[in-house]
Structure formats: structure tokens, C-alpha cells
Amino acid sequence: MALVDLATAALVADPEEVATVLEPTADDGALAAAVGGNAGPIAISFPTFADGRGFSLARLLRERHGFKGELRAIGHLIPDQGQFLLRSGFDTVEIADPDTAHVWKFSLERIGRNYQPAVRNGLPQRWDASRKAAHTLNEALGANDDLVSRIKAIRSHIEGRIAFSTSLGLEDQAILHAIANSGADIDVFTLDTGRLFPEVLEIVELSELRFRIRIRLVAPDAAEVEDLVARDGVFGFRQSIDNRKACCEVRKVRPLNRALQGAQGWITGLRREHSNARAEAPLAEWDQDRGLIKMNPVADWGTDTLMDYIAANNVPVNPLHARGFVSIGCAPCTRAVQPGESPRAGRWWWESEEKKECGLHVNENGKEKAA
Ligand code: SF4
């Protein structure tokens, strides 16, 4: 028998005597007793390599019972399981033949794919790499404020599908213009909630003709809308914040999530000036819930910069803007704003400012930033 240190992949020169051996059937009381009376390493037995109960016991010992000593895996284990043992909280593994230690070393050094959080290396490697990629992209976008260059940088940094969710608002029209001029392959869609202003649909067609880009209309599930209206009524969203959020969930959030499935990147028209909730919006960030990089390429633009871009490039805009509508959502939930009001004062104006969320923009802690 020999012992391999899972962290270093080296043989342990002078192994300690095991104090307690836990079978995979050990209950919580047995784990507590093992930790309570511990005077040395705890070993967990694996009767076959296909029996995963020992991994769960290790995690419970570390996370629930706070065991800090050496945790050893004994029994029928194979080198491919080395990384999983390590990530579950094990320190060492007992092997029958010391001459096979090099196989464990080979495996421990090469099998490094983490698919879910664990006791050690809590963040899966894929997420970790994606978070770094988002950070790198955020810096790259910040280095050049030309919008077409930013779209090109986005396209060159991200492999796979990039989706742009447009509400056909001013920011989104500027981004659409830049996408068209960049030649970047980007999937453009808008959420057709069933309650849009006719002017929004008109600007969809006008933009398609001008930019020669198809804008997909993503609709909510018809049965879900029928159930919602049957329960709350046609204007049920006016009765309570819960009703309003339920309507946004069915008509916006779920269709958005469906449209973003399989995308590696998501472009939005968020700007920091929109509201306090968006004041720190980065140019690019990792969206943990959706598992993609979310990009806000005009986040740092002021209103003057935006309007200058639109004027200089003759970008088509929704005629409702000229009638005082700034942020335009569904028709029954949007009104024109008065001079001096916040740009989003016209959205769900019957609600307090901090409640104006519909779940489209959620940060990595799961908190909504704003609609
Ligand atoms: S904005 Fe209004 S109508 Fe549109 S989905 Fe939300 S609550 Fe429903």
C-alpha cells in the first residue's frame, strides 16, 4: 500500500495512521462522531469506483462538520477520479501498488475540467475562464470608444453565437447601425410582447430595409399568456407589482431566456445614465445565470454622444421620441416624460423608482439591476 498526495501528485513518505474509517453508508451522526473524536486522518471507503457516496461524505465532513485534518480515500478508486477526490475535499488516496503512482500523477496533472462548484476550486474552470474573458473584453472595449470598433472587438473576442436584444430605442438603433457597418455576424432580435406600440413595429421594418439585417421577433408562449390574462385580466399588471412582474416574466423574461439559449454573448443597449441601478454597468461582464458574456457597448456614453452619433449617421429612430417618449417599452406601461424627469420615469410610472425591474438585466449575484 502507498499513499498519493492529491495536491502534489507525489507519494507521501511517512503516512499517518488512520484514526477512523467511514463506510459509504455512514450517517450524519457517524460523521459528527468521527470529527469529534478525531486524533488523526479520517478515511472514507469506496467499495467500487462507481460508488460516489464517498465524495458526498467528504464534502459533508468539510462543509458541514468543519473537518480540517487529513481526509483519505481508500478502496477501489481509479486515477481518473483524482481531480474529483481533490475537489471534494480529500487530501490523499491510498493505492495498492506504488509503481502505479505515476499514472495518478499523469491523471492529476491533465484532467482539470470542473463542471460544478466544489469544496476546493469552488468555481468551475469554464466559468473562471469566461469571467476572465469578460474582464479582458471589458478592458478592450474601454480602450476604444468608436462603436463600430467595439462591435468588431466583441465579434473577435467571442466564439459562437452573439445575440443582440434590441428594443428599437435610441441606443439600440445606434448599436444596430454599428453592427451593420461592422459586418459582424450577430443575431438581432426583439421581444414582441404583444403589447408594443405600432411605431415600434414600423421602426423594425424601416431598420431592416435600411440596414439589410433581419430582426427576429421573439414572442411569448401563447398558452402562458392566455393563462396570465385569464388569471389577472387584460390590464392586470396595473393592480400590483407582483402582477406586473408576472406579466414581464411571461412576456419578456422567458422569451429572452429562450432567445439567448446557446448564445455565448449578449449585446444590450444599457447606459449608465439611465438610472442609479445602471450607474456602474460595465462594458462587458460575465452573466453567471445565463452562462454568457453580457456586453453593453454604449454603457459609458452620455446622451450627447448618443445623439451626435444618431445625427451624424442619420440613424432612423422611433417617432415617439419626438413626442417625449424616451425609454419605450410596452404601450400600456410607457408614457412620455416631462423635461427634467429621469429617462426611465415614463416606464411603470405608477411604481416607485427602485421597484422598476422586470428581470431582463440580472447581475451575477442574482439581483435585478433594472428593466
Ligand atoms: S411592460 Fe407592461 S405589458 Fe409589457 S410585459 Fe411588462 S407589465 Fe406586461
For ligand 1, is residue 361 a contact (CB within 6 Å)? no
- CB contact at 8 A, 247 and 234: no
Residue type at 60 in one-letter notation: L
Strand-pairing partners, residue 347, are 334
Exposure string of 25-38, with b = 16+ CB inside 10 Å and e = fewer, is: ebeeeebeebbeeb
How many angstroms separate the alpha carbon of residue 252 from the centre of ligand 1? 8
How many angstroms separate the alpha carbon of residue 315 from the centre of ligand 1? 27
- What pLDDT digit, counting tens, does each position of 284-319 carry? 998 877 878 999 999 999 999 999 999 999 999 999
- What pLDDT digit, counting tens, does each position of 100-145 carry? 888 888 777 655 445 555 565 454 555 556 778 899 999 999 998 8
pLDDT value of residue 118: 58
- CB contact at 8 A, 295 and 268: yes
What's the rounded mean pLDDT across residues 201-224?
96
Residue from 238, 242, 251 to probe ligand 1 pocket by mutation (most atoms less than 8 Å from CB):
251
CA angle 313, 319, 321 (to 5 degrees): 85
Q: Which of 29-43, 103-117, 154-168 has the lowest mean pLDDT?
A: 103-117
Q: Angle 198-211/170-182 helices, nearest 10 degrees?
A: 20
What's the rounded mean pLDDT across residues 161-178?
97
Query: pTM of the prediction?
Result: 0.65
For ligand 1, is residue 251 a contact (CB within 6 Å)? yes
Among all residues, which ones are annotated catalytic? 358
Please state, in angstroms and rounded to a whole number, the distance separating the CA atoms of residues 20 and 43. 6
Q: How confident is the model at residue 371 (pLDDT cuts 50, 70, 90)?
A: very low
Q: Name the nearest CA neighbour of 217 among 260, 259, 172.
A: 259
CA angle 275, 278, 283 (to 5 degrees): 140
- CB contact at 8 A, 141 and 284: yes
Q: How confident is the model at residue 362 (pLDDT cuts 50, 70, 90)?
A: low
For ligand 1, is residue 330 a contact (CB within 6 Å)? yes
- For CA atoms 232, 236, 242, 244, the dihedral sign is positive
